[in-house]
Amino acid sequence: MILLDASTGVLCCGVALILLIITVIVGASSSAGKNSSGSGSKNATRPTVSNSIFQTFVSKGMKDFGEISLEVFTVEMQGPINAPMDNCPVMKTITLFDITNGKDDQKPVLCSLDNLQYQNTSAFFSSIMDILPYRMSLLSNWQTILPIPIETLTFPARGKRKLLFTVSIATLTGNVLVSSQSEFTYMNSTPGYIDSMKARLRAAELAVKLAVSVSAADGIFAGTEGHVVQEWIKKRIASSIDSQKQEVKQKLNSAVESAMTASSSAAPQDIEHLCKDLIDMNPLPAASMGDKYDILELCLKVASADGTAMDAEMNLVNSLAKNLGVDSERFRTMMEKIIPVGIHETEDVNTILGIDPSWTVEQKRKHIRAENRKWRALATHSDPEKQKQARQMQELIAKEMALLEGSNEET
């Protein structure tokens, strides 16, 4: 795990494994592959393509994810890659550290996406398996490896941050074939985890209380839902600095107990008011947007833990999203990923398709057509579960479109 020592500001011994990886990568890196973005958050000039040097480049821009557009760091690579054989299986890894205070004091950047985290921590880490078709390969043009949504990242502190991205391609036995680093200077306008540790702990307490409330919304505390909350708490403890671990453990366990007591004594129809009171009593002005999405992600996982997303649970989570002030489309994209249409207790078309009941018929048709294009594109996805979800969504869209076509409302 990646931890920070609060007194020294350096990485603790718990990071030994990843430091070993980084040491290998840095040692193999070519200095020609390092780039700096200059001051502020401006992109540097992309290096000229090379036939002899493997190099990486990081830029900041906007990228569309379905119907929403997010600011991202785009990591690219270019140059020769020599493997020990044709069709060689390799791992492409990307690490991200904050080196504002120098490389001897590098700090992890946290990420709220499960698939971009290092083991049981919240530290950013990407690992992608690939096949090199030829023993001697050349990426003659810049190739995107990964777009990283910036809003999912939490930096150590507010202000100008110097970031170090390291890209490595290695065999499955750990032999590093190529590696390169790219630096990027980013102006972070939100509080980081160092200058808002207490705020993040308050956000975590709120997350646990709301998740327990979601579990109780249908009048039943399920063991699977409790397990989801328990695993989330373990991850938060693992991501805490050593000096804070015990406090985090105590506060989050206490949050579970108090939330269970409050929820069990409240009628299901009163749970929503209880949650609104929790949010009002625990304002999160210093919490990053990533923390708020993290809260909602936990609540969605709890709602789907027993295989059925009950109406009471979904109504509550939707209410939480509004009270937390997150982007509605971004939240719906998250919901689609965690809760496929097939496990909803009932098909609430407006919620599932993101339709505002106050829209005119023509506005609804326009939105439905856009949804249809999105899910039609996923109908041939390589993941069978994605295909299944796409078919279910297209069936729901077809029913809704038929109803809209038969509507006589003036537009």
Mean pLDDT across the chain: 80
Lowest mean pLDDT among 194-198, 205-209, 307-311: 194-198
pLDDT at 92 over 80: yes
pLDDT at residue 86 tops 90:
yes
Tokens of residue 44, six digits: 């540097």
φ and ψ of 149, to 5 deg: -60, 120
Both tokens assigned to 344: 């909803």
Q: Could you state, in order of their start, the residue ranges of all structural domains in the chain?
A: 13-188, 197-346, 361-405
Between CA 368 and CA 374 the distance in angstroms is 10
User: 17 falls in which pLDDT band (50, 70, 90)?
Assistant: very low
Q: Which residue has the higher pLDDT, 410 or 146?
A: 146
Q: Is 76 helix (H, G, I), strand (E, B) or coil?
A: strand
CA 409 to chain centroid, in Å, comes to: 41
Higher per-residue pLDDT: 169 or 206 = 169
- Is residue 251's pLDDT more than 50? yes
pTM to 2 decimals? Answer: 0.49
Q: What is the pLDDT of residues 25-52, one digit of tens each?
A: 333 333 333 343 334 577 889 999 999 9
Say if residues 309 and 354 touch (Cβ distance below 8 Å).
no
pLDDT above 70: percentage of residues in the chain: 83
What span, in angstroms and rounded, lies between the C-alpha atoms of 34 and 381?
A: 36
pLDDT at 268: 61
- CB contact set of 327 (below 8 Å; sequence gap of 6+): 68
- For residue 2, what pLDDT band results from cuts at 50, 70 and 90? very low
Checking if the pLDDT of 182 tops 90, the result is yes
| 197-346: CATH, from 1.10.3470, 1.20.120, 1.10.3680, 2.40.128 | 1.10.3680
- Diameter over CA atoms, the chain: 70
CB of 206 closer than 8 Å to CB of 279: yes
Tens-digit pLDDT profile for residues 379-395: 777 877 777 777 777 77
Write the DSSP string, 289-333: HHHHHHHHHHHHHHHHTTS-B-HHHHHHHHHHHHHHT--HHHHHH
Q: Find all residues with CB under 8 Å of 243, minimum gap 6, and list them.
A: 5, 6, 7
- At residue 221, the pLDDT reads 61
Residue 276: C-alpha distances to residues 267, 317, 322, 329 (Å):
15, 11, 10, 21
Strand ranges, E, within 112-206: 125-132, 136-149, 153-154, 159-171, 176-188
pLDDT at 31: 34
pLDDT(18) > 80? no
Q: Is pLDDT at 274 greater than 60 in this prediction?
A: yes
64 or 199: whose pLDDT is higher? 64
Q: Is the pLDDT of residue 368 over 90?
A: no
**Predicted confidence (pLDDT) at residue 13 exceeds the cutoff of 60:** no
Indicate the CATH number for domain 13-188. Answer: 2.60.40
Confidence of residue 15 (pLDDT cuts 50, 70, 90): very low
pLDDT at 153 over 80: yes
Least confident of 106-115, 267-276, 299-308, 379-388: 267-276
Nearest CA among 298, 320, 285, 170 for reference residue 226? 298
What pLDDT score does 277 carry? 77
Q: What is the DSSP letter of 123?
A: B
Distance CA 26, CA 322 (A): 44
Q: Looking up tokens 């809704």, which residue turns up?
A: 400
